[in-house]
Structure 1
Amino acid sequence: MGGGGVFRFSSMASSPRLLVLLLAWLCCAAAEAADTIQQGKSLSAAETLVSTPEGVFEVGFFPPDPKQPSRLYLGIWYRGIVPRTVVWVANRAAPATSAAPSLTLTETGELQVLDGTAANGTAAPSLLWSSNTSRAALRGGYYASIQDSGSLQVRSDDGTLSWDSFWHPTDTILSGMQIAVRAPGPPGRGGTNERMLFTSWASETDPAPGRYALGLDPAGSGQAYIWRDGNDIYWRSGQWTGVNFIGIPWRPLYLSGFSLSNDRDLGLHYTYTATNTSLQRFVVQPNGTDICYMVKKSSQEWETVWLQPSNECEYYAACGPNAKCTVGQDGKAKCTCLKGFQPKLWDQWNAGNWSEGCTRNPPLGCQVNQPGDGFLPIGNIKWPDFSYWMSTVADETGCKNACLNNCSCGAYVHTTTTGCLVWGDKLIDIHELPTGAYTLNLKLPASELRVHHTVWRIATIVSAVVLFVLLACLVLWWRRGRNIKDAVHRSWRSRQSSTWSQQNSAMLDISQSIRFDDEVEDGKSHELKVYSLDRIKAATCNFSDSNKLGEGGFGPVYMGTLPGGEEVAVKRLCRNSGQGLEEFKNEVILIAKLQHRNLVRLLGCCLQREEKILVYEYMPNKSLDAFLFNPEKQGLLDWSKRFDIIEGIARGLLYLHRDSRLRIVHRDLKASNILLDADMNPKISDFGMARMFGGDQNQFNTNRVVGTFGYMSPEYAMEGIFSVKSDVYSFGVLILEIITGKRAVSFHYHQDSLNIAGYAWRQWNEDKATELIDPLIRASCSVRQVLRCIHIALLCVQDHADERPDIPTVIIMLSSDSLSLPNPRPPTLMLRGRELESSKSSENERSHSIGTVSMTQLHGR
């Protein structure tokens, strides 16, 4: 037997108990043998292989059509999920019809599906399918096994991989797959000549190859297509931006782990790595729809979380060339020609046949020797197909000029992740997106731009006048307490104590608001309420201590209740807080325009007398530090919640740094500025120190450094230079706090290490990183996942900003366990205790502490 034991039946005959033990041992040995197929062995129709070590998947023969139980296919399915969910089929074009099909592993390492023998037993089994991987026979031989990832593999006895079902998928994309133009092959041997396609079943009960297939663009654009009947494009994903596909705005898709790579063996390819908390798969349906399914933890049933195409505009070229498709309120497609174009065939267009699209009219100036061509930005659209990447163009201006100087160029786009993309004279497959700030610069003649420029100038002039009036009013209001001899102000102040209180007791009440029409995440405009001081006092019981939620560096925060019963958080800025009128206006303007599920929402404000007050949505669980550093509440944050908080903060930063119309650096990211809602979802708050970037700006330099000790990046603290990488540094510190359950400043004198980053790197370098994990979560967490987060945090707190990853890269790192990470460099600021003391005397530094928040002001050198 496999254990090598020798038994004598004479001794067992006198011991029935020993015979029972032998039978139990034989059963266990048989169960272990079901994990693999050894060389020269077979798997019958009555047997299955179970994946190791968790038993997630199972391999065996199955009948997909209950009406035809004799038609059997070799497949892989989820074990324990009812009904059977098949993810891969071997002999999909040739079902077994005999009663004795088998899966055999030959001596040359080839998997074969055989269809048994003829009725008389004389005919040889017929070959239905093979892996086509015959190799020279090896001394140690081969074996086949199924992995918990769903991958059926053939390996030589020394562990070398020679064949993998992931290289030859059917209709399903599973976590861990590499999606390439050509099918992958053994490591180091490059890809195969077989095109890698995910091909639908012919029907729900027939696994034969169907009409639809999903794959990558053979031209190398990185786009995914669904083809119908071989060559007819049915759907297109859009270009890859570095974190998402243009045509697929569903963000959780990318948090599940799609990443783009380029190597010598496979060329351009995607790797898909799902989250650890759910079973997830993508399936190309027989009708051509690509659906993402996820298992509900409560019921273990599949639910649809995403599908494409989901409306008529997502069908490829629904409106033909040079036209835009928009989904109407009735869910139907509506086609309109792009500006500067008209229907090619008016009769067909009016009849609803848009296949011929639109043609340019009038022509470009370069086509008729009339200078003045320019560009019209068209926002919120899926970029057209057939883009060309211009690798020699480095910036926006160069990309614009390259298109302007080429009369055949019809549009261009330039972003930091895609570089310069240009299109020809046919713009195909454009449709309006519900979200996503994707802009196409459409090339137009001067005659088509004049109207636009006139409207734009008028709008700009009106906006400037309104802004000037508002600023003038704000300045007058602010200076009213400085003994300005202004008759209007004196009159207003005198009326305030008499007729104003009698006739207008609800001054600046909820009925007044400031409307913001900027595009936000939910597609709606938002209003910022302007509250009276009396209304604020009533809501907070005159700023009662019993309503006080806490106090930060800029003043106390109170819980309030508005007349309608809505609970709010009221932030009352202290006069000596350091946040003056400019910081107040900054926070109001920024947060009012920023709308994201991981940013705290500003509901209103009050600027009356000497009071500066902000009204936020109420967070019942207060701030992250109230849980993280409170021994009584630390246990409520298990690792799953902590990891969700890390991901949520990263998504909020991604919105600030990249996805919002404004480009924001927070500058004061810390645990006390992360609020938690009722479901423990994190929301970034306190934008008083935030700064907005514009144009091509990548960093600022300031002589006034403000922030919290322990969170500030070295270049900001020492030189006053800040950028989005400054927030990345603070985020890295925050990750370490979440993992350790200790404040960053608590490591100040711990083992002579200056900060939490230095201490974490020392533990990492000495292979003692697990000692960083909070003891409350150490027993129940995924140690591998925590160590990866520590690794990512150390990359975020690198001394030099250019060595830190940006937030889109951090999100990919967090969501992909397979992505290799670079080794972090040791922090150079790991000063010893005595060195720290001596350095303090030489720094031109002024620090002060208010409550639990330490503020440091340094003057850049």
Structure 2
Amino acid sequence: MVRREGEGGVFRFSSTASMAPSPRLLLFLLLLAWLCCVFVAAQTTDTLRQGESLSGAATLVSSPEAVFEAGFFAPDPKQPSRQYFGVWYHGISRRTYVWVANRASAAASAAPSVTLTNTGELRVLDGTAANGTAAAPPPPLLWSSNTSSLAAPQGGYKAVLRDTGSLEVCSDDGVLLWDSFWHPTDTILSGMRITLQAPGRGPKERMLFTSWASDTDPSPGRYALGLDPSGSGQAYIWKDGNVTYWRSGQWNGVNFIGIPWRPLYMSGFAPSHDQALGGTYYTYTATNTSLQRFIVLPNGTDICYMVKKSSQDWETVWLQPSNECEYYAACGPNAKCTALQDGKAKCTCLKGFQPKLQDQWNAGNWSQGCIRNPPLGCQINQTGDGFLPIGNIKWPDFSYWVSTVGDETGCKSACLNNCSCGAYVYTGTTGCLAWGDELIDMSELQTGTYTLNLKLPASELPGTHYPIWRIATIVSGVVLFVLAACLVLWWKRGRNIKDAIHRSWRSSTWSQQNSAMLDISQSICFDDEVEDGKSHELKVYPLDRIRAATNNFSDSNKLGEGGFGPVYMGTLPGGEEVAVKRLCRNSGQGLEEFKNEVILIAKLQHRNLVRLLGCCIQRDEKILVYEYMPNKSLDAFLFNPEKQGLLDWRKRFDIIEGIARGLLYLHRDSRLRVVHRDLKASNILLDADMHPKISDFGMARMFGGDQNQFNTNRVVGTFGYMSPEYAMEGIFSVKSDVYSFGVLLLEIITGKRAVSFHYHQDSLNIAGYAWRQWNEDKAAELIDPLIRPSCSVRQVLRCIHIALLCVQDHADERPDIYAVILMLSSDSNLPNPRPPTLMLRGREIESSKSSDKDQSHSIGTVSMTQLHGR
């Protein structure tokens, strides 16, 4: 909106003590002032058209929200003649600049101007061109967008200021020629793409966010932030052009590991890949409505600001570097930096290393770092090298990706067999990363679970330097102690939990003489599969305590009922609320499934998996005690007309991402490699903050490290969610869960059950119906009307596209869950889905090979069919 303020005459009134303006004159002046205001408002615009100029106090104001303003400004009040053309926030008390055009060449004249030429080039001039005077020399050129086009399009060009803060030059028919987001200054705004190479039609240039020289001087300063030119995906801050000042660390899927205490994924950062932009790049889309920006300050600090709603002033969210350990290579190579309470650095050599220059090290000069002593076994033709895990550490710089391995065992072996490899890391999101023998820029982290496996000779590994007799003595003592403890527990408690469960399997019914309570231990400790590195204790509750907690399984405490039995709310003596799952005698889940769920869930600990607190096996009762989810299951919201409106698109998308991350843990990050086999809306529980947690692992199966699929003669699950190869052939894999996830994704988008499409015209299932709508360019009609006002249609359509890829007929054509997460968090191109051929009615699948023992169990709206005797 060009705001044209008065440049000309100023009304002057001379008055004396004996003369005063009449009321009629005052009324005239007020009317005139009002007309001027109306005229100024009418003249406001967000667009500078071809051939137009902007100068003086005139500005552009973005529309329709008027978030940003563009025009000339003088940042230094002591030098008002030094003017720059830029963009700043509109309507905020303290003017905040986000982009500057002529930052390297300030205007010297009193009336600089910006103009859009007939060839589509935006120019900042040190003065205003004289109208009608051909002989007059043009004013000096301070800055240009360098985007001249050979032929002007029909209708010409225009420069438009958007509500995102982007100043765009485009043709009237919508072709984008130039964008200020492609050529940033010191600020990262929502909607930007942080790339290695700036996009656009001109010569490829490196994208850098360069600080101001000072708080009042926008000329390029000493510090610049950008992506690693080698393609590692890390962000760096360089000082004076090429001196590394700070490093973000590798991206782990939700965050840079050098900033573990503030998940950038939640702030709107997401990775993508495009070779034309230099490989890996990041998109930034603010996930909240607050004004938020990242800026490189003149002192080299990368800081995130957010506007306080109460004061409309900027507050600091986080900043880097914030202590001496966050400066690049603060302790030199092969050393770990620990930040003290005052922010000072404390350096220590890694195990197996010693200071390179002892005198300098003792004097506090750590720049030379440490060197190996003793050398690796492979360096002196010996064997026995191993690895020492170092937890909570920022991974070193200069990692390389080993693409030939797909699991941690292969990654470890690859590093062990390469004498020049000094350390490795393997995770489900980063894959196999390895480092050379010099490890640079490592610091201790206060939070996070980032572990580096440091390669050491056998003599430096824990326990290997003790004499054999000492080792034998320690081992013998430990064995004797364990045996003694087991004997005491055996005589005192009778039998342990594993014996009790196996004994119950061997008996189909409990006889009267065996109906007494099993005398079992009060807790079972699992310490081999936990998320936080601590052991998880599973409690065993007596039946009388469970009865007291649930008011003797009162109907008033019942939360719901599934295919395997009712679920009750209970309150333990300490006041802890729990969910109690009581398996029915005639349920589809027998002792085998009960054992499966107890052992499996006790070892699976993840924020998106429901937590099993304990169990109870007494008489003929089989009971599981879970953490209580106050919002119950997803279907209670998604398919309830009274609660559907509580799930806007933002909440639904967060639920989608949470489910996907829970599956990623099951499929890749857990050593057990679990296939859930019964993923559906009723098995997704919601905590108090509406975070999703996958539940009900009675049907889950574990895979071996070298297994990709499994064949079963017992097909169990819920029709509508079961993949074709599993429902018809009994073959299941992690891709079976991906199919169920795709169906669940369509349910979340449509707000309708999968079974509700079974009676649709043409008898399509939800996947077939969604594909037909997508193929006919009617995918938007699938969106739940309740979320249309709150959703980004483009994002929802992308989710529908991803869901269709997940429900492909053939398992090998479906993406794995890791690829699904990348698709959800990026805007990369997606392959076209194939049309599903299995568009079946929602009836029980019949098999000519099924025996007479086939039976179907239906409770409420949940259908569960078992096929035996294949």
Same-fold call, TM > 0.5?
yes
2:838 is equivalent to residue 829 of structure 1: yes
Amino acid in the other structure paired with 1:180:
T
Match of 2:186 in 1: 171
- Following superposition, the deviation at residue 595 of structure 1 comes to 4.0
- Following superposition, the deviation at residue 68 of structure 1 comes to 5.3
Q: Secondary structure at the match of 1:792?
A: helix
Distance 1:410 1:235 in 2: 23
CA contact (8 A) 2:272 2:280 kept: yes
- Following superposition, the deviation at residue 362 of structure 1 comes to 0.9
Match of 2:423 in 1: 411
Q: Secondary structure at the match of 1:371?
A: coil
- Following superposition, the deviation at residue 428 of structure 1 comes to 0.9
Match of 1:805 in 2: 815
Match of 2:88 in 1: 77
- Following superposition, the deviation at residue 272 of structure 1 comes to 0.6
Match of 1:684 in 2: 694
Distance 1:219 1:483, change over 3 A: closer
Post-superposition CA distance 1:73-108 (Å, at most 9, x none)? 222223344433322111223333543222122344
2:432 is equivalent to residue 427 of structure 1: no
2:332 is equivalent to residue 320 of structure 1: yes
- Following superposition, the deviation at residue 543 of structure 1 comes to 1.0
2:577 is equivalent to residue 572 of structure 1: no
Q: Secondary structure at the match of 1:409?
A: coil
CA contact (8 A) 2:728 2:845 kept: no
CA contact (8 A) 1:181 1:217 kept: yes
Q: Secondary structure at the match of 2:624?
A: strand
- Following superposition, the deviation at residue 46 of structure 1 comes to 1.5
CA contact (8 A) 1:600 1:616 kept: yes
Amino acid in the other structure paired with 1:473:
N
Distance 1:238 1:389 in 2: 14
Distance 1:66 1:466, change over 3 A: farther
Q: Secondary structure at the match of 2:613?
A: strand
Distance 2:308 2:838 in 1: 47
Distance 1:316 1:694 in 2: 42
Match of 1:504 in 2: none
- TM-score normalised per structure 2: 0.82
- Following superposition, the deviation at residue 795 of structure 1 comes to 1.8
Amino acid in the other structure paired with 1:796:
C
Distance 1:654 1:201, change over 3 A: farther
CA contact (8 A) 2:105 2:142 kept: yes
Match of 1:849 in 2: 858
Q: Secondary structure at the match of 2:207?
A: coil
2:321 is equivalent to residue 272 of structure 1: no
Instruction: Select 1:611's aligned residue among 606, 621, 629.
Output: 621
Bigger drift between 457-466 and 422-431 goes to 457-466
Amino acid in the other structure paired with 1:89:
V
Match of 2:659 in 1: 649
Q: How does 1:763-842 map to 2 (within 5 A)?
A: 763-778=773-788, 781-816=791-826, 818-831=827-840
Instruction: Select 1:129's aligned residue among 133, 143, 164.
Output: 143
Post-superposition CA distance 1:513-541 (Å, at most 9, x none)? 45555686667665444332222111111
Distance 1:641 1:377, change over 3 A: closer
Identity across the alignment (%): 78
Distance 1:332 1:696 in 2: 48
Post-superposition CA distance 1:629-671 (Å, at most 9, x none)? 2233333333343333323323333343445565433222211
Match of 1:138 in 2: 152
CA contact (8 A) 1:102 1:114 kept: yes
Distance 1:524 1:64 in 2: 54
- Following superposition, the deviation at residue 327 of structure 1 comes to 4.9
Match of 1:343 in 2: 355
Match of 1:30 in 2: 43
CA contact (8 A) 2:94 2:313 kept: no
Q: Secondary structure at the match of 1:185?
A: coil
2:226 is equivalent to residue 215 of structure 1: yes
- Following superposition, the deviation at residue 156 of structure 1 comes to 4.4
Post-superposition CA distance 1:793-848 (Å, at most 9, x none)? 222212222322333433343344x4333222211211369xx7995666665432
Instruction: Select 2:497's aligned residue among 474, 478, 481.
Output: 474
CA contact (8 A) 1:74 1:89 kept: yes
Amino acid in the other structure paired with 1:821:
L
- Following superposition, the deviation at residue 557 of structure 1 comes to 0.9
- Following superposition, the deviation at residue 112 of structure 1 comes to 2.2
Q: Aligned pair count?
A: 814
Distance 1:329 1:520 in 2: 30
CA contact (8 A) 2:270 2:283 kept: yes
- Following superposition, the deviation at residue 59 of structure 1 comes to 1.6
Post-superposition CA distance 1:716-764 (Å, at most 9, x none)? 2233333332222212211221222221122223223342111211222
- Following superposition, the deviation at residue 349 of structure 1 comes to 3.6
CA contact (8 A) 1:436 1:659 kept: no
- Following superposition, the deviation at residue 768 of structure 1 comes to 2.6
Bigger drift between 651-660 and 313-322 goes to 651-660
Match of 1:58 in 2: 69
Instruction: Select 1:151's aligned residue among 166, 175, 184.
Output: 166
Bigger drift between 74-83 and 723-732 goes to 74-83
Q: How does 1:431-450 map to 2 (within 5 A)?
A: 431-433=443-445, 438-449=450-461
Match of 1:17 in 2: none
Post-superposition CA distance 1:434-456 (Å, at most 9, x none)? 56555444332233347359989
Match of 2:463 in 1: 451
- Following superposition, the deviation at residue 566 of structure 1 comes to 2.7
2:679 is equivalent to residue 669 of structure 1: yes
Amino acid in the other structure paired with 2:497:
L
Distance 1:717 1:296 in 2: 54
Q: Secondary structure at the match of 1:451?
A: coil
Q: Secondary structure at the match of 2:164?
A: coil
Q: Secondary structure at the match of 1:584?
A: helix
Distance 1:172 1:589, change over 3 A: farther
Distance 1:784 1:613 in 2: 45
Distance 1:367 1:567, change over 3 A: closer
Distance 2:857 2:621 in 1: 23
Distance 1:796 1:453 in 2: 53
Match of 1:9 in 2: none
Post-superposition CA distance 1:327-380 (Å, at most 9, x none)? 567766543332322222334444544332221111122332323334444455
Instruction: Select 1:355's aligned residue among 335, 345, 367.
Output: 367
Distance 1:762 1:300, change over 3 A: farther
Distance 1:771 1:137, change over 3 A: closer
Distance 1:446 1:799 in 2: 51
CA contact (8 A) 2:420 2:436 kept: yes
Distance 1:829 1:356 in 2: 66
Match of 1:8 in 2: none
Distance 1:134 1:353, change over 3 A: same
Distance 1:475 1:277, change over 3 A: closer
Distance 1:104 1:322 in 2: 55
2:213 is equivalent to residue 198 of structure 1: no
CA contact (8 A) 2:196 2:281 kept: no
Distance 2:232 2:502 in 1: 59
- TM-score normalised per structure 1: 0.83
Q: Secondary structure at the match of 1:635?
A: helix
Amino acid in the other structure paired with 1:30:
Q
CA contact (8 A) 1:179 1:269 kept: no
Match of 1:757 in 2: 767
Bigger drift between 428-437 and 147-156 goes to 428-437
Distance 1:482 1:578, change over 3 A: closer
Distance 1:380 1:482, change over 3 A: closer
Q: Secondary structure at the match of 2:274?
A: strand
Amino acid in the other structure paired with 1:382:
K
Distance 1:347 1:405 in 2: 35
Q: How does 1:357-756 map to 2 (within 5 A)?
A: 357-390=369-402, 403-413=415-425, 418=430, 420-433=432-445, 438-449=450-461, 451=463, 473-478=496-501, 513-514=523-524, 526-659=536-669, 663-756=673-766
Distance 1:196 1:82, change over 3 A: same
Distance 1:421 1:737, change over 3 A: closer
CA contact (8 A) 1:435 1:521 kept: no
Amino acid in the other structure paired with 1:856:
T
Distance 1:467 1:699 in 2: 41
